[in-house]
């Protein structure tokens, strides 16, 4: 079973500040890494799906990088806004598990 | 509108009373999956289905059943619910195995078993 760790578990950031958090996963037998954003009382929504080492994806103020050799991905949010408050979930897909394995998430709160 | 629809959204029931949580998707997706979310734990897979009449166990299948008689529907059945099945449940679907394709989630069903 894949061991997926996200850090920190929770984060409070002042509006306008930039922030980042980490997803760590076993680097062997890697296929893909998913990032989802989950707002309270809503359903998780996909942000990025990444497959290649060195991949970098961007959606507005949010971007993500992937290092498959060392087994980690960073999610960056530039100029945080209150609407960025959510739990951010990462989920690698590995050949061993043959499914997405979700981390516990990083709960981000933006203070106005 | 492309969506995954779960019902009921909220349910309080008692131990042993059979219940079904329905899940339907309108995107012609082949892959469907059920997850449960508990405090301090990541989303854990209960069952998944690769296509009609093809289902398989996930990480926490005990106490649950599923069926996939039609492509669009993937109900989750609790034959005899117990309090440890109190949880937030999500149904999700994707075009194929969710490797390069994203999962689309329903809005969740919060179940309380007394």
pLDDT digits (tens, 9 = 90+) for B60-86: 999 999 999 999 999 999 999 999 999
The verdict on A59 touching B (C-beta cutoff 8 Å) is no
Among B48, B102, B105, select the one facing A43 at the smallest CB separation.
Answer: B105
Mean pLDDT of chain B: 95
Of A41, A99, A101, A104, which to mutate for an interface test with B (greatest number of B Cβ within 10 Å)?
Answer: A99
Give the pLDDT band of residue B13 (cuts 50, 70, 90).
very high
What is the structure's pLDDT at A1?
Answer: 53
> Which three-class secondary structure string do you get for A7-55?
ECCEEEEECCCCEEEEEECCCCCEEEEEEEEECCCCCCEEEEEECCCCC
Q: Is any Cβ of chain A less than 8 angstroms from the Cβ of B109?
A: no
Q: What would the two tokens of residue A107 be?
A: 């709960």
Cα of A81 to nearest chain B Cα, Å = 24
Q: A38 pLDDT exceeds 90?
A: yes
Q: Of A1, A100, A104, which has the smallest distance from its Cβ to B98's Cβ?
A: A100
* Binary contact (B90, A43; C-beta < 8 A): yes
Judged against a pLDDT cut of 70, whether residue A77 lies above it is answered with: yes
% pLDDT > 90, chain B: 89
Q: Does pLDDT of A96 surpass 90?
A: no
With 90 as the cut, is the pLDDT of residue A97 above it?
Answer: no
Q: What is the band of A98 on the pLDDT scale with cuts at 50, 70, 90?
A: confident
Percent of chain A past pLDDT 90, that is, above it, reads: 83
Q: Is the pLDDT of residue A30 over 90?
A: no
Per-residue b/e over B53-76, b at no fewer than 16 CB within 10 Å? eebeebebbeebebbbeebbbbbb
Instruction: Mean pLDDT check: name the lowest of A33-42, A63-72, A92-101, B53-62.
Output: A92-101
Task: State the pLDDT at residue A3.
Answer: 83
**How far is CA A34 from each of CA A4, A100, B92, rounded to the nearest angstrom?**
12, 8, 14
Whether pLDDT at B38 is above 60: yes
For residue A99, list chain B residues with Cβ-Cβ distance below 8 A: 33, 45, 48, 58, 98
Alpha-carbon distance B104 to B83, whole Å? 28
**How far is the C-alpha of A103 from the C-alpha of A88, rounded, in Å?**
9
Q: How far is A45 from chain B (nearest CA, A)?
A: 7
């Amino acid at each position: 079973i894949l061991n997926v760790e996200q850090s920190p578990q929770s984060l409070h950031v002042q509006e306008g500040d930039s922030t980042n958090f980490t997803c760590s996963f076993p680097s062997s037998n890697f296929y893909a890494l998913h990032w989802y954003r989950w707002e309270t009382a809503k359903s998780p929504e996909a942000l990025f799906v990444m497959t290649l080492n060195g991949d970098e994806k961007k959606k507005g103020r949010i971007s993500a990088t992937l290092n498959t050799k060392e087994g980690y991905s960073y999610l960056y949010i530039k100029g945080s806004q209150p609407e960025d408050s959510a739990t951010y979930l990462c989920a690698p897909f590995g050949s061993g598990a043959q499914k997405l394995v979700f981390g516990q998430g990083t709960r981000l709160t933006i203070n106005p | 509108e492309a969506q995954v629809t779960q019902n009921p959204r909220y349910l309080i029931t008692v131990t042993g009373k059979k219940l079904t949580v329905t899940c339907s998707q309108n995107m012609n997706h082949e892959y469907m999956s059920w997850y449960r979310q508990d405090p301090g734990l990541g989303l854990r897979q209960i069952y998944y289905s690769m296509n009609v009449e093809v289902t398989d166990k996930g990480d926490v299948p005990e106490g649950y059943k599923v069926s996939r008689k039609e492509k669009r529907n993937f109900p989750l059945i609790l034959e005899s619910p117990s309090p440890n099945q109190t949880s937030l449940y999500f149904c999700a679907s994707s075009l194929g195995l969710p490797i390069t394709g994203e999962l689309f989630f329903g809005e969740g069903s919060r179940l309380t078993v007394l």
